Structure 1
Amino acid sequence: MKEILSTKNTMVKELKKLKIKKHREAQKRYLIEGFHLVEEAVKADAEIEWILCSRRGIEEWSEWVSTHEDERFLLVTEEILSSLSEVPTPQGMMAVVKMPNVETTLGYSGRWLLLDNVQDPGNVGTMIRTADAAGMTGVILGDGSADIYNTKVLRAMQGSNYHLPIFQLPLKTIVDQFKQHDVPVFGTELNKRAVSYQTLPSQKQYALIMGNEGKGVSAELLTMVDQSIYIPIIGEAESLNVAIAAGILMYHFLHNKIE
């Protein structure tokens, strides 16, 4: 196993740049942290360039390492992992993964989650993970939404980005295409034409738009949806967290499929 001992190593300096979105996009690769995410990436046959392990990490996951070790493994110091990590205490394993070449053509069928300017990385990651759990066809991130290769998004997704397609595309065009393919589009908003989600039956196919944490779905997109929907608030809370709301709606539309 090759070994790197210094944080001043040229390779380490290049990897540090991956903390910033513009450098991730330029290098077409990203970092994942922790054994679970590395394991998920390996299972999914993601294009992994390097797996960085400290001696502690090798000892902790010795059985897995001995089974999978190849020329991609690098032995590094805890100091190097700390310099690359976004968490206070790195777990002892990280990986450098190439971004996949994603096709921009969609089938325009099935069940889709659309995120309109959802900026919080934890919310974006949680919604993608929930979409995976609910058997959604895919997720589309519109302009302004958090980068899926942000380390906080990656941690919140817990590997779900390897299980379903995720696109980053302009939602106005996408919504129009869904409608042309007779896929109903729902937008979350409390307005005069909105109905409670409880009045709607399960859906074999649909596109669900979830909006910005503070502003909701954009007014322009709301004029394009087939139906605006809302989740009734029973208690005194002003609103629901967008990720919680998305989970409620995705499972509601799935209801008949899991009975």
Structure 2
Amino acid sequence: MKTITSRDNPAVKRLHALAHSARDRRSEGRTLLDGAHLVRAALDAGWPLRELVASDQGLGRAEIADLLERCTGVPAIHLTDALFAHVSPVDTPSGLLAVIDLPVPPPTRAFAESLLVLDGVQDAGNLGTILRTAAAAGMRDVLLTPGCAQAWSPRVLRAGMGGHFCLRLYEHADVAVLLQGYPGQILATGLGAGARGLYEMDLRGTVAWLFGAEGRGLSMAVAALATDTVVIPMPGAVESLNVAAAAAVCLFEQVRQRRVA
């Protein structure tokens, strides 16, 4: 394992760019996984690792040492704690990073199963949490409109905690085109007139769930695709839920209904 101690080293500059620049990630075709849990999830999913990066403190942790031993043959470098903090994509460095290739976009196709549509979700934590929830609920396909955060950015990956590796992610999706002929319900959440209670809906069949940006909600174009609008009952003294929480409630109500069907 090579040790690097200078910020001027080309490897350090490259890692810093991957951590902090969407343009550089696209240009190089690679991104960073942050933390032992995420690296293990990638390995368990058979995702190839291109490079491993460990800090002084990281090398002292048994969990990270075990992962490095498991990854014999993967190029690895050792950074001082200060340098690792410099290239880390998060405020609290984990002690371990991995470089992976950005995936080839999945081929477009006619969808016949339940799926998730995310329209302009820009917060990395929310987006990653929703992707993890979708994977946990058994979803396979997620369509992301051009206004969404970069799905494979290090912060979204960190929040997703491995959910990415179970999903087919369609970024910059033309949702209107991809949902043409969709055989199931297309449901949006909202409070408008005519909205139906979530727990009154029959969700056992195929559903395309539409969730919008944290502040403005769904764009008019995406909202117009909905065949129905559902409202989540909230007896407490709040008006709305965070988009990640709303997605979790809806997806797992569908899971619940399918289990008792």
Q: TM-score, normalised on structure 2?
A: 0.92
Q: Report if aligned partners of 2:32, 2:99 keep a CA contact under 8 Å in 1.
A: yes
Amino acid at match of 1:173: V
Of 3-12 and 124-133, the range deviating more from structure 2:
3-12
Q: Report if aligned partners of 1:196, 1:231 keep a CA contact under 8 Å in 2.
A: yes
Distance in 1 between the 2:122 and 2:182 partners?
Answer: 29
SS in 1 for 2:257: helix
Identity %: 30
- Alignment-derived partner of residue 256 in structure 1: 257
Q: Report if aligned partners of 1:188, 1:217 keep a CA contact under 8 Å in 2.
A: no
Q: Report if aligned partners of 1:116, 1:171 keep a CA contact under 8 Å in 2.
A: no
Distance in 2 between the 1:67 and 1:221 partners?
Answer: 45
Within 5 Å, give how 1:194-209 maps onto structure 2: 194-209=195-210
Let me know the Cα RMSD of the aligned residues.
1.7
Within 5 Å, give how 1:1-259 maps onto structure 2: 1-18=1-18, 19-60=20-61, 61-168=64-171, 169-175=173-179, 177=180, 180-259=181-260
Post-superposition offset of 1:251: 0.9
Q: Report if aligned partners of 2:50, 2:74 keep a CA contact under 8 Å in 1.
A: no
SS in 2 for 1:48: coil
Distance in 2 between the 1:196 and 1:204 partners?
Answer: 17
Post-superposition offset of 1:24: 0.9
- CA deviation string 1:174-231 (max 9, x = no partner): 23x2xx1412211122212321111111233210000111111122222221111111
Of 130-139 and 219-228, the range deviating more from structure 2:
219-228
- CA deviation string 1:76-118 (max 9, x = no partner): 2222211111333312110111101122313402111110111
Give the count of matched residue pairs. Answer: 256
Distance in 1 between the 2:182 and 2:215 partners?
Answer: 31
Distance in 2 between the 1:246 and 1:72 partners?
Answer: 39
The 1:194–1:89 alpha-carbon spacing in structure 2 relative to 1, beyond 3 Å, is closer
Q: TM-score, normalised on structure 1?
A: 0.92
- CA deviation string 1:107-156 (max 9, x = no partner): 40211111011111111111111111111122111121111122221111
Distance in 2 between the 1:115 and 1:67 partners?
Answer: 36
Q: Report if aligned partners of 1:188, 1:216 keep a CA contact under 8 Å in 2.
A: no
Mind listing any 5+ residue stretches in structure 2 that lack a counterpart? none
- CA deviation string 1:27-75 (max 9, x = no partner): 1111111111111122222232110112432231323322322242222
SS in 2 for 1:130: helix
Spell out structure 1 runs of 4+ moving beyond 4 A. none
SS in 1 for 2:50: strand
Distance in 1 between the 2:194 and 2:107 partners?
Answer: 33
Distance in 1 between the 2:42 and 2:251 partners?
Answer: 26
Distance in 2 between the 1:35 and 1:70 partners?
Answer: 18
Amino acid at match of 1:97: I
Mind listing any 5+ residue stretches in structure 1 that lack a counterpart? none
SS in 1 for 2:60: helix
